[in-house]
Structure 1
């Protein structure tokens, strides 16, 4: 009996050691690959610097009167509209401990919420994870390697899985959008999807595409079901990696889910005044934010109490084009087309 117990303990230790070794190897591989890519693209760095002057600083405000000029019009930041960056991280479990660079996970979902506090409305700018933009690079010791144009999703991986990762994504999104000031961020991981989904009794959706039935027979194309537990995560995250641009394709599914989730949350909150408190308590251990609790509580209450019925017109896709390379899918943003969107969401025209 004692021998069996000892053998079990030894096996558990071996699994833990192997897991630690694999994590370290992956982190080293991640950074070495990054450094290699970075070194081979030194010429591109000079082009990046030149591009920043002409593109990324277009939103720089006039120091005298705080205005922004675009075309033949002048704009000023709408102080009633807050820019809140919401990040979905592809890890699970509690987000309590700092991680080694390269093992912190990636930003799998990136949404910039324009919260109009005067009208109690929201609009959501959906930013593809494969958006190619400038991000900060670091080695395993945390030393800066400068900036390079890479997938936006990787910005989170170069941090610690906590505040630094969020700040890196926030900075990258801000520069992508011309230097837009982002008022706050909130990052949650995949563990929160089934928890919040089940807190409101599940979310009803119609399955519009095939493929998910291989993971769950109930999720057959054309069928309307109430998502419960892990089904919610499968619905918002599933993609066929053998097909091109499926990360962009699934964003329509995410939009459907967010619409249905907000609608069901409002219904539930109407008969359960403690819902928002429970939901906020649920996400505490699985969330990183630079906002005070009363701030994100107020944000949640504003959405639930709003008369707005969130629909397709409240979601905006970052303009751009999906491109397939030999190695990865890429999304090339249309900077010029995004300018008016940013101004419409967060600024007001001066007449």
Structure 2
């Protein structure tokens, strides 16, 4: 009886060992299959990302290498000032960024006056040779010739108004952006504007959190908005805090929008730095942003162009010293504040950002 039991136990152990061995082979194959699948997904993802970057690069090169023409049709890339000669920087792409005080799907608005105003206006220049980003902040109250259109989209007149209003006179999102691009180019001595991005400010909380929040340094204004903040300390903005930080102003105080503009500059710098860190772990971030927020922004950048430029920007030099403000002063007329541009100062800024000194002329 004991021998029979021993034989049965022996056979049971052999069967269990064979089953465990078989299971081990299956689990091993599953693990190998998983890692092969994982590697395939990574390779495919990198392949798609690389293909988008390559395609975007070719399109951007074609865009920025178009010959620059004067009104007479003669190619011209030199500017003369104070006995010095300057040449427009080659391989630069200039992008107009606009923050619009309107929420909802921008593509659904088809009426003049319904698009909202451009509360934030920034002209960014990326030089692909020097790998440097520079940006000019344009106060929303800057006085420029604004093209006025009626509700049917018919041109009425051109009059001096705040630049923020030019966006409102477009009959749809594309027309509004084109009007703004023309106005900013005219302001900046006909600097070419190759691309534009306009986003409604309603997506700020979500956009802010996608990059893990944006780090800012608290000053007295921040302390007024967030009583628990300590002046001089760094904080990371989350969700609606970003909206409060970027849009708050005391309208009873003269030129309070200029303080808001300074906060916008600091926020943009912080956002770019945060996005760079995110892209180190997730190279698909630009494409995900492009797809995720469709309808809440309008741009003439294609997905591959956006992906390429975002990848380039992640490797470029960009600091507080790269940020400029259109020189001028705020004045009060009978009703509204208006920002009067210092033309000579702006001309020097344009030369500094978009041109290089040429020796030997």
Which bin holds the TM-score, normalised by the shorter protein?
A: 0.7 to 0.9
Task: Please give the alpha-carbon distance, in whole angstroms, between the structure 2 residues aligned to 1:211 and 1:254.
Answer: 12
> Partner residue of 1:116?
127
Q: Tell me if 1:255 matches 2:265.
A: yes
Report how many aligned residue pairs link the two structures: 290
Aligned to 2:59: none
**Matches of 2:292 and 2:189 in 1, distance apart?**
35
Q: What is the aligned counterpart of 2:208 among 191, 194, 197?
A: 197
1:285 aligns with 2:282: no
- Residue 273 of structure 1 deviates from its aligned partner by 2.6
Q: Which residue of 2 aligns with 1:54?
A: none
**Partner residue in 2 for 1:141:** 152
Q: Which structure is larger by alpha-carbon Rg, 1 or 2?
A: 2
Give 1:86's aligned residue.
Answer: 97
Is the counterpart of residue 102 in structure 1 residue 110 in structure 2? no
Helix, strand or coil for the counterpart of 1:284? Answer: coil
For residues 216 and 84 of structure 2, the distance between their equivalents in structure 1, rounded to whole angstroms, comes to 43
Deviations 1:46-77 (A, max 9, x none): xxxxxxxxxxxxx9799265433333233332
Q: Distance in 1 between matches of 2:192 and 2:204?
A: 28
- Tell me the distance in 1 between the aligned counterparts of 2:141 and 2:168: 14
Distance 1:164 1:340, change over 3 A: same
The structure 2 residue matched to 1:336, chosen from 330, 335, 344, is 344
Which residue of structure 2 lines up, in the alignment, with residue 315 of structure 1?
323
Q: Is 1:73 the counterpart of 2:81 in the alignment?
A: no
Runs (5+) with no aligned partner, structure 1: 1-58
Distance 1:212 1:159, change over 3 A: farther
Q: What corresponds to 1:231 in structure 2?
A: 241
Asked if the contact 1:239–1:250 (Cα under 8 Å) also holds between the matched residues in 2, the reply is yes
Give structure 2 stretches of 5+ with no counterpart.
Answer: 1-69
The worse-fitting range, judged by mean Cα deviation, of 272-281 and 123-132 is 272-281
| Deviation at residue 218 of structure 1 after TM alignment | 5.2
Q: Note if contact 2:287-2:303 (Cα within 8 Å) is conserved in structure 1.
A: no
Distance 2:263 2:146 in 1: 27
CA separation of 1:251/1:96 partners in 2, compared to 1, >3 Å: closer, same or farther?
Answer: same
Query: The residue matched to 1:186 in structure 2 has which SS?
Result: strand
**1:13 paired residue number:** none
Q: 1:346 to 1:61 in 2, by over 3 A?
A: farther
1:85 and 1:186 in contact (8 A); partners too: yes
Does residue 170 of structure 2 align to residue 162 of structure 1? Answer: no
- 1:94, distance to aligned residue in structure 2 (A): 2.0
CA contact (8 A) 2:153 2:171 kept: no
Structure-2-length-normalised TM-score: 0.74
User: 1:280: how far off?
Assistant: 2.1
Cα separation, 1, equivalents of 2:147 and 2:358:
35
> Residues 344 and 227 of structure 1: is their aligned pair in 2 closer, same or farther, counting only changes over 3 Å?
same
- Of 265-274 and 82-91, deviating more is 265-274
The secondary structure found in structure 2 opposite 1:330 is strand
Q: Which moved more, 1:90-99 or 1:64-73?
A: 64-73
Match of 1:350 in 2: 358
